[in-house]
Amino acid sequence: KNEVEQSPQNLTAQEGEFITINCSYSVGISALHWLQQHPGGGIVSLFMLSSGKKKHGRLIATINIQEKHSSLHITASHPRDSAVYICAVNSGGGADGLTFGKGTHLIIQP
C-alpha cells in the first residue's frame, strides 16, 4: 500500500508570503492530486498531475516522478487561502480510490 507523507503538518504565515507544501509517496503512482478542504468539510480538487508542472492562478503544483515527490506552491498568499491542503495518490491498476496524506493545516494571517 502506498504511504503518503506531507510536510509541514501545520504552517502559519503572513499575508503575501510564498508558501510551499511538500508531499512524498512510497510506491509508483498513476496520478497525484492536491485537494483543499475548508472548515465545514467541503473538499475541492486543485490539481491532478502525473508529470511536470501545472499552474492555476496563484497556485502551482509540480511533481518529480523519479524522486516520488510533489510540491504545492501558493504565491502572494491571502487569508482566504487558509485551509487544509491534502495530497492524495492513485496507485493505478484500475478503479482505485485515493490514498491520502494527513494534510497540511495552513493559516495565513493578515
* Binding residue for another protein, selected from 13, 31, 60, 65, defined by CB under 8 A: 31
According to DSSP, residue 81 is labeled G
Long-range contacts of 97-101 (CB under 8 A, 24+ apart): 98/33, 99/1, 99/2, 99/4, 100/4, 101/4, 101/5, 101/6, 101/23
At which residue does the C-alpha cell 485537494 appear? 35
- Residue selected from 8, 28, 79, 92 as contacting another protein according to rule CB under 8 A: 92
What's the closest the beta carbon of residue 51 comes to another protein, in angstroms?
15
Residue 75 C-beta: closest distance to another protein, Å: 23
Nearer to another protein, 55 or 102 (CB): 102
Q: Is 65 in the site for another protein (CB under 8 A)?
A: no
39 is a site residue for another protein (CB under 8 A): no
Residue 95 as a binder of another protein (CB under 8 A): the answer is yes
Angle at 38 between CA 97 and CA 91, to 5 degrees: 20
Q: Quote the DSSP letter at residue 80.
A: G
Site of interaction with another protein (CB under 8 A): 30-31, 33, 35, 40-45, 48, 86, 88, 90, 92, 94-103
